[in-house]
Amino acid sequence: LMNYHGNSDSGEESIALVGKGVCFDSGGINIKTNPSIANMYNDKGGACIALGVFKSIVELKMKVNVVYAATFVENMTGSDATHVSDIVKSYKGLTVEISNTDAEGRLILADTLTYVQERYKPHTIFDFATLTGATKFGLGEKTGAVFTNDDELAEKIQNACHEACEKVWRMPIDEEHINAMKDSAADLINSASNRFGGGSKAAAFLQFFINKNVKWAHFDLAGPAFSGSDEFIYTKGGTGYGV
């Protein structure tokens, strides 16, 4: 957690930057295979991007109040690892059935989102995560997916990305996706029964943890957060997409 108070006229945080920081993701019991597992040290990309945004705001001395929050974990196998069909209780109090241990990022994001809203009461939240391969399959490696509950915020994001020469595409969260994340054994399930619309379903899961009247934008950056070569506007490695 880090705070920056650039607006002395306001006593409350106005913006929250939340990042997924999975320092290595083996997939857990639902273990990943080669070649995808080789790059899973990159699964902390969302937390790094959110930190980059926070650092830029501080260095530019922008007149906004911002809180940065990221949860750093590893997702590994072992005797203490989460089991498939476990039911866990989130920080918000909603119960979640674990149907796939490789859908861990949304669990830590959910608790971080809840904590930030409870403690800091931001009016706007941006979360960043290398959350689903589904968005990468759908949009490729150069375009980020954004999901938001606010049309005006979506337009601002799209305009900002255009000015920065970064590609972004707004994706939907519909009733289909919301209902797919509800469960019979718990309030929610962490991974739906099929993979169709996986990015939208993951975003729908997160939306259950966003308070009413809070503007929220979720960036799923499984594609553009990292580059395998010097290409387009990016250099090999972490791209800093979104900063």
Report d(CA 86, CA 104) in Å as an integer: 13
The residues pairing with 127 across neighbouring beta strands, listed in sequence order, are 18, 218
Report d(CA 102, CA 119) in Å as an integer: 29
Terminal alpha carbon distance of the chain: 18
The pair of structure tokens assigned to 230 is 């010097």
Q: Are 98 and 45 in contact (CB under 8 A)?
A: no
The active-site residue, picked from 32, 121, 170, 215, is 32
**Amino acid (1-letter code) at residue 18:** V
Q: Are 114 and 89 in contact (CB under 8 A)?
A: no
CA distances, 100 to each of 64, 79, 96, 105 (Å): 39, 17, 11, 11
- Chain-centroid distance, C-alpha 62: 24
Q: Are 22 and 105 in contact (CB under 8 A)?
A: yes
Pairing between strand 124-129 and 15-25? parallel
106 is a catalytic site residue:
yes
The active-site residue, picked from 20, 106, 136, 201, is 106
Owner of token pair 């499984």:
222
Q: What residues act catalytically?
A: 32, 106
